[in-house]
Amino acid sequence: MERSMLRRRALAACTATVAVGALALAGLTGTASADPAPHTPTASADSAQLSPGLLKAMQRDLGLTASEARSRVANEARATAVTAGLRYSLGDDFAGARVSGDTARLTVSTTDASDAARIAKAGARAEVVDHSLAELDTAKAALDRVALRKAPEDVPSWYVDVSTNRVVVQAGKTSAAEAFLARAGVDRALVKIAHSTEQPRTFADLRGGDAYYMNGSGRCSIGFPVKRGTQSGFVSAGHCGRAGTTTSGYNQQAQGSFQGSTFPGRDYSWIATNANWTPRPLVNGYGNADITVTGSTEAIEGQSVCRSGSTTGWHCGTIQQRNSSVTYQEGTVTPVTRTNVCAEPGDSGGSFISGSQAQGVTSGGTGNCSQGGVTYFQPINAALQAYGVTLVTNGGGPTTPPDPSDPPNPGGTWAVGTTYAAGDVVTYGSASYRCLQGHLAQPGWTPPNVPALWQAL
């Protein structure tokens, strides 16, 4: 068993190392096509598809030049690929990953010092810590279960912080945090309590704007266009409306209605539109070229991320923590991703995107875009899976969400969490397949199920 684990780690580590070269190589083709699964973008493709509006927002909010912004996106794409391989390779030792600095330097944490050489060989900085990511996630899940039954008072948010290797609980009073931990039975050694005066709120309660309106009154922002079969629509925030709520578009023309909505607990919804509305794989550029969406590969901590909303347009920042929970007046929402991107009412439901990869829909937060603040987004892949809808990507094709009912892996070399390059050959069960497009393997995207990615040999 131990020998088999070592072989698996060595293979995955090699995959992570090779992924960097594969990305650069793939970029030489200059091609881009629709992909039915979230995939890791090539460095050159992502850079080439950045709109002037997004570049300007990154320059303004991150203090970068246009060249630095393009370089950062390329480096972050490489970091995402390397992280995927190392996460699989390190197994239970994996304790998180993050990028830092304008060059997006990758740091990967592990609980086993013997993993350091493997991490360094993959091109990342190794950090040895006490607690695995799985251990911290389990502790946070215990807090979530308690909060979803009854939202904690004076505890605005909590999250897994890979940089400190702790679950951070933000609270107005230490006693409130201690009481919350006691109710959940969480080991205090896993937790860091941080004082906070934040009072998170959702952003759907202000008026006006040009995105979409609910029942002719309140306003929110479209997240991402999606399809379910032949039905077109889009995903947005759950707090924007309930099932049956009608919507009109930015032009005040009839648009559609909410088909599903969850809030609190989660904060996502999907709206079906009438035949007058055509879904495009685009994010509004607000006076500049629109952003083309090519997939939904999840970004890591420290990575740059930008938001488009109908109140404040484009604003950028970085991902602070992915596995976060936040308590609004209406209740707790988890898991959400915490960012230092600003937002204001009316931006709710709007697009969060990193490079050309869809990340999520704006949920809520604190502050504003005059003084800055904290904003949380609901990850896009969770919304896609919840409603069985598919993300519309470049070329007009959708990406298909994972199907949790898929049968278990029948054996072979194909594995979730591995970054594959065009031309790679894998086995799945008794059959062999050749990779047609570079991508990050996700649950449900098995070779027999995604002929756009794999060709049977």
Residuewise pLDDT in 10s, the chain (457 residues): 444 444 444 444 444 433 333 222 222 222 222 223 333 334 344 455 667 778 888 999 999 998 899 899 889 988 998 998 899 889 999 999 999 998 899 999 999 999 999 999 999 999 999 999 999 999 999 999 999 998 899 999 999 999 999 999 999 999 999 999 999 999 999 999 999 988 887 654 322 224 799 986 789 999 999 989 889 899 999 999 999 999 998 878 888 999 999 999 999 999 998 888 888 888 888 877 778 888 898 999 999 999 999 999 999 999 999 999 999 999 999 999 999 999 999 999 999 999 889 999 999 999 999 999 999 999 999 999 999 999 988 854 455 554 444 455 677 888 876 777 778 888 888 888 888 766 667 666 778 776 667 788 8
Average pLDDT, the chain: 82
pLDDT for 19 equals 36
All domains of the chain in start order, with CATH? 2-46+67-127 (no CATH), 201-398 (2.40.10.10)
In this structure, the number of other CB atoms found within 10 A of the CB of residue 34 comes to 17
- Give the model's pLDDT for residue 203: 59
The whole-angstrom separation of Cα 226 and Cα 232 is 6
Angle among Cα 225, 81, 439 to the nearest 5 degrees reads 50
Alpha helices for 322-394 (secondary structure H): 380-387
> 348, 351, 356, 363: which one is catalytic?
348
* pLDDT at residue 438, as a whole number: 67
d(CA 350, CA 393): 17
How far apart are the C-alpha atoms of 266 and 334, rounded to whole Å? 6
For the entire predicted model, the pTM comes to 0.69
Q: Cα–Cα distances in Å, from 106 out to 80, 81, 340? A: 9, 11, 19
- pLDDT at residue number 159: 96
Contact 220, 211 (CB under 8 A): yes
Task: Determine whether 239 is an active site residue.
Answer: yes
Residue 453, H or E segment:
none
DSSP annotation of 93 reads G
Residue 51: the pLDDT is 72
Which token pair is 252?
């005040």
Cα separation, 444 vs 31, whole angstroms = 25
Name residues whose C-beta falls within 8 Å of residue 440's C-beta, 6 or more positions apart in sequence.
Answer: 38, 39, 40, 80, 81, 84, 297, 417, 418, 419, 420
pLDDT at 450: 67
Specify whether 363 is catalytic: no
Query: Active-site residue among 46, 115, 267, 347?
Result: 267
Residues 357, 41 contacting (CB under 8 angstroms): yes
**Which candidate, 397, 419, 380, 444, places its Cα nearest to that of 294?**
397
**Cβ–Cβ under 8 Å, residues 50 and 456:** no
Neighbour count for residue 417 (Cβ, 10 Å): 18
| Inter-CA distances, 446 with 44, 190, 435, 442, 453, Å | 27, 36, 11, 8, 9
Among residues 239, 269, 308, 347, the one annotated as catalytic is 239
What are residue 427's DSSP bridge partners? 432
Phi, psi of 148 (to 5 degrees): -70, -25
- Reply yes or no on whether 35 is catalytic: no
Please classify residue 194 by burial: count the beta carbons closer than 10 Å to its beta carbon, then call 0-12 exposed, 13-18 middle and 19+ buried. Answer: middle
Query: Helix (H) and strand (E) counts for the chain?
Result: 8, 29
Q: Is residue 181 classed as helix, strand or coil in its secondary structure?
A: helix
User: What b/e string do you get for 330-362 counting C-beta neighbours within 10 Å, with b at 16 or more?
Assistant: eebbbbbbbbbbbbbbbbbbbbbbbbbbbbbbb
The pLDDT score that the predictor gives to residue 124 is 95
